[in-house]
A and B are shown apart, each in its own frame.
Chain A
Amino acid sequence: MIDCVFDGSFNGLLTLVFDTWRIRDKVASVIQEPDAGSLLPQRFYYTQDNKASRVREYIDNRMGEEFAFLVKAAFLSSRPERFRAIVNTIHRACEMGPKALGLLEDDVLCFLDCHKEVTREAHRFQGLLRLREMADGSLLAVFAPRHHVLPLIMPHFADRFPGENLIIYDEGRHIAGLSEKGVVNLARVAGLQPQDSDGERELEELWRVFFSRLAIKERLNPRLQMQHMPRYTWKHLPEMRETP
Chain B
Amino acid sequence: MDLEEKLGILTDAAKYDVSCASSGVDRKGAIGGTGNSAACGICHSWTADGRCVSLLKLLYTNACVYDCAYCVNRRSNDVPRASFTPQEVAGLTMAFYRRNMIEGLFLSSAVAVSPDRTMERLIRVAEILRLRERFGGYIHMKVIPGASRGLVERLGYLADRVSVNIEFPTDQELALMAPDKTPEGIKSNMLTVRDRRLELLPTLYRGPKPPAFVPAGQSTQMILGAGDSDDREVLGRAESLYQTVGMKRVYYSAYVPVNLPPEEAVRARTPLLREHRVYQADWLMRFYGFEAREILGERRFLDQKVDPKIAWAVDNFHLFPLDVNTAPREMLLRVPGLGPRTVQRILAARRLAAISYDSLAKTGAVMKRARHFVTAFGRRPYPLTDDPERVYRALAGADTDACRQLSFLDAV
Other CB < 8 Å A-B pairs besides A126-B42, A209-B7, 19 of them?
A99-B352, A104-B363, A123-B40, A128-B44, A161-B35, A163-B32, A209-B11, A210-B96, A211-B47, A213-B7, A213-B8, A213-B11, A213-B15, A214-B57, A216-B51, A219-B272, A220-B408, A221-B49, A228-B50
User: Which of B15, B35, B98, B101 has the most chain A CB atoms inside 10 A of its CB?
Assistant: B101
When the two chains form the complex, which single residue of A128, A210, A228 contacts B11, counting CB atoms closer than 8 Å?
A210
- Interface on A for B, CB 8 Å cutoff? 96, 99, 101-104, 109, 123, 126-133, 139, 141, 156-157, 159-164, 182, 203, 205-207, 209-211, 213-225, 227-229, 237, 239
Interface size on B, residues (CB 8 A): 60
Q: Verify if B171 is at the interface (C-beta below 8 Å from A).
A: no
Known: A127-B42, A209-B4, A225-B49. A102 touches B35 (CB 8 A): no
User: In the complex, what residues of A have CB within 8 A of residue B3's CB?
Assistant: 206
Q: Are B11 and A221 in contact (CB under 8 A)?
A: no
Docked Cα-Cα span, A156 to B412, in Å, equals: 38
Q: How far is the CA of A75 from the CA of B15 in the complex (A)?
A: 41
With A and B bound together, what is the CA distance between A229 and B51 in angstroms? Answer: 11
Q: Cβ of A205: which chain B residues have Cβ within 8 Å of it?
A: 4
Question: Judging by beta carbons under 8 Å apart, are A216 and B56 in contact?
Answer: no
Bound CA span A169–B100, Å = 15
Q: For residues 1 through 59 of chain B, which have their beta carbon under 8 Å from a beta carbon of chain A?
A: 3-4, 7-8, 11-12, 15-16, 28-36, 38, 40, 42-54, 56-57
- B362 at the A/B interface (Cβ < 8 Å)? yes
From B153-161, B196-204, B343-351, give the one contacting chain A. B343-351
Q: Is the beta-carbon distance between A220 and B49 smaller than 8 angstroms?
A: yes
In order of increasing CB-CB distance, the 4 nearest A-B pairs are: A224-B50, A102-B348, A219-B49, A221-B50
Supply 17 A–B pairs (Cβ within 8 Å), ascending by A.
A104-B349, A127-B45, A127-B103, A141-B100, A159-B28, A162-B34, A203-B95, A205-B4, A206-B7, A213-B15, A214-B47, A217-B49, A219-B256, A220-B408, A221-B406, A225-B49, A229-B46
Looking at the complex, which one of B30, B52, B408 makes contact with A218 (CB distance below 8 Å)? B408
B112 at the interface (CB under 8 A from A): no
Name the one of A102, A139, A156, A210 contacting B7, with C-beta atoms under 8 angstroms.
A210
Which residues of chain A are near B4, meaning CB under 8 Å?
A: 205-206, 209
Which chain B residues border A221 with CB–CB below 8 Å? 48-50, 406, 411
Minimal beta-carbon separation of B236 from chain A (angstroms): 26
Known contacts A162-B33, A206-B92, A220-B412; A101 and B348 CB within 8 A of each other: yes
How far apart are the CA atoms of A179 and B351 in the complex, in Å? Answer: 45
In the bound complex, do residue A225 and residue B256 qualify as a contact, i.e. CB atoms below 8 Å apart?
no
Provide the bound-state CA to CA distance between A228 and B7, in Å: 25
- Report chain B residues within 8 Å CB of A182: 31
Q: How far is the CA of A211 from the CA of B15 in the complex (A)?
A: 10
Cross-chain contact A160 with B15 (CB below 8 angstroms): no
Given A160-B35, A214-B47, also A130-B99 (CB < 8 A): yes
